[in-house]
Structure 1
């Protein structure tokens, strides 16, 4: 019998192959571990809920999800269990900096994606996620949220790599966490948000110990959950700088790495 009572999966580069699809072997292994071992599969991603829930439906599972790299946690009925928001002063200054550098800025709150206008970057992201953004003037939106003492869960800046790096360097003193999910994407979430904190939140609800959690990921924002789990597994396609933080390495996302890991550690 498996010693693991929760499996936490990153999505892009992990659950999905390079064509953004779930392969049949991965789907089969997930359905098998859920039905035969009664182990919940928690999808953990920088994506918004809409970008996660349709994948749950494809897998035929219904469990809580962790969105925006831990800034938003929903239960299996899509009710908010917990969320973290970005400070309004930081959002305002990042908005100004992105505008000055002519970087695209997307703002995410709960299950809505906001942009000021459609451009090549928003169209690219729509093509990847299958989600369409809502167009709103950011100044008006931020004023409204400020009066309501609320704010967004995540910001996403998209631009050429050199612009992204300049922007990232300018954020060092702010109370946020920023990381590049790819050279042209800068993800920004509250400093209090992390995949690990969100996983611990759900584990506490289910009375699951850290040693009973298995995590699988491929990118820099997965490092914390790889290090803190009972078993952290890096994908074969992960950078070497991520792999060194994992206890084990599985095959790549184009070679059914998730299925191999689940088969080896949970279905044997």
Structure 2
């Protein structure tokens, strides 16, 4: 039996099946792990607000449980009383990314605590999709209005059709790529984060805070934004439905999210 003390689990494409559901088997297995004393940490690109229903369903709301949100930009206790690590954008940085989005003619939004903010008069369909997914409203504001409310978002997102984002990636200046951390979390999502914000750094920061060695951590994911945490964890797990790049970095494989992959790997290595 392994000595795993913490499990970081991606949500979309990993914890949830392709219908966006938390299956009874995955739910039951996670609760067995927490009862054993293992820290279960949801580690997601979603804003914290978009995770609260799952935290409640899994009985993870307390000052002794933790969540990683905004793709690693925010690490905090699930009851929000303790912030372990936080990275956000200044208004100047937000405006720089907004200008770039306008130049590249791509839809974008900024993820704050309470809403998805955009200066796009024509709201992108994937901003609308994200709004429904994470249960947060869309707030259209002019750039002057954003300055007046002193918005400091945890992340920015270019959101558009996959072929448009692929072209955008090729045209983003190297200076921007060096200044920020860019990663695709879905074919239609390009996330722009603080240079030091990623799931791997977030998992490492939480491990230090909890005095858990990285060798005692499992990380489970399916997409590019999960690679950093799979690399730092002692047990890096790729879902059966993971993209090839994730599988190349993982040391363990499990079944797909439609086959209760999270439950299977927990039963194999944790329970």
Task: Give the structure 2 partner of residue 159 of structure 1.
Answer: 160
Deviation at 1:218? 0.6
The answer to whether the aligner puts 1:11 opposite 2:7 as a matched pair is no
Do the aligned residues in 2 keep the contact of 1:86 with 1:176 (CA within 8 Å)? no
Q: Is 2:58 the counterpart of 1:59?
A: yes
Select the residue among 245, 248, 254 that pairs with 2:258: 254
> Is the contact between residue 214 and residue 231 of structure 1 (CA under 8 Å) also seen in structure 2?
yes
CA distance in 1, matches of 2:79, 2:45: 20
Q: Which residue of 2 aligns with 1:131?
A: 136
* Equivalent position of 2:245 in the other structure: 241
1:143 positional shift = 5.7
Distance 1:85 1:60 in 2: 28
Q: CA RMSD in A?
A: 1.9
> What does 1:1-268 correspond to in 2, within 5 Å?
2-35=2-35, 37-62=36-61, 63-79=65-81, 80-116=83-119, 117=121, 118-142=123-147, 144-145=149-150, 151-169=152-170, 170-174=172-176, 175-267=179-271
Secondary structure, aligned partner of 1:244: helix
Whole-Å separation in 2 of the counterparts to 1:89 and 1:136: 16
Q: Deviations over 1:49-102 (max 9, x none)?
A: 011121111112232111111111121321333211235444323212222343
Distance (Å, rounded) in 1 between the aligned partners of 2:166 and 2:147? 25
Which deviates further from its counterpart, 67-76 or 83-92?
83-92
Aligned 8 A contact 1:97 1:167 in 2 = no
CA distance in 2, matches of 1:76, 1:130: 17
Moved more, 19-28 or 90-99: 90-99
Q: TM-score, normalised by structure 1?
A: 0.91
Any unmatched runs of 5+ in structure 1?
none
Contact in 1 for aligned 2:204/2:232 (Cα 8 Å): no
Cα distance, 1:18 vs structure 2:
0.6
> Alpha-carbon deviations, 1:210-247, whole Å to 9, x = none?
11111101111111111111101000000112101001
> Which segment drifts farther, 159-168 or 23-32?
159-168
Mapped contact 1:49–1:111 kept (Cα < 8 A): no
The alignment covers a number of residue pairs equal to 262
The answer as to whether partners of 1:5 and 1:208 remain within 8 angstroms in 2 is yes
After TM superposition, give the deviation of residue 112 of structure 1 in Å. 3.4
